[in-house]
Copies of this chain bind each other. A is one copy, B any other.
Amino acid sequence: MGVSKLEIYPQYVNDIAQIAKVFSHPARVAIMQYISTQESCICNDIVEEIGLSQSTISQHLKVINNAGLLKGTFEGKSVCYCIDIERFEMFQKIVDTFFNRTKQNCC
């Protein structure tokens, strides 16, 4: 069918899958990485840095943003994107807990 059956999994399993999905495309990994190296970040810089079209970058930024990982402020004509560190750390903790729990139980 092509649709994931989300309703058959416990919440925390879906949470982990959703977090992983954000980082499952190299463009999004690269964007996160790049934003983190900037004082503050302007989308146009990202386009040049990554090498995809402006509209594609904008789409990827939307996915990252929808996951709650960005804080954007408008500075003049351009948007300054920043990583929402608290949210990012929350993701790290959830992922790390999953790894540790799985490791621990394992045969």
A interface, CB within 8 angstroms of B: 4-6, 8-10, 13-14, 16-17, 20-30, 32-33, 35-41, 50-52, 82-83, 85, 88-89, 91-92, 95-96, 98-107
Contact = CB atoms under 8 A, between A and B. Distances in A.
A29 to B, nearest CB: 5
7 contacts: A17-B29, A29-B98, A33-B101, A36-B101, A41-B107, A83-B106, A89-B103
A79 to B, nearest CB: 14
A16 to B, nearest CB: 5
Given A88-B99, A99-B92, A6 B26 contact: yes
B37 A13 contact: no
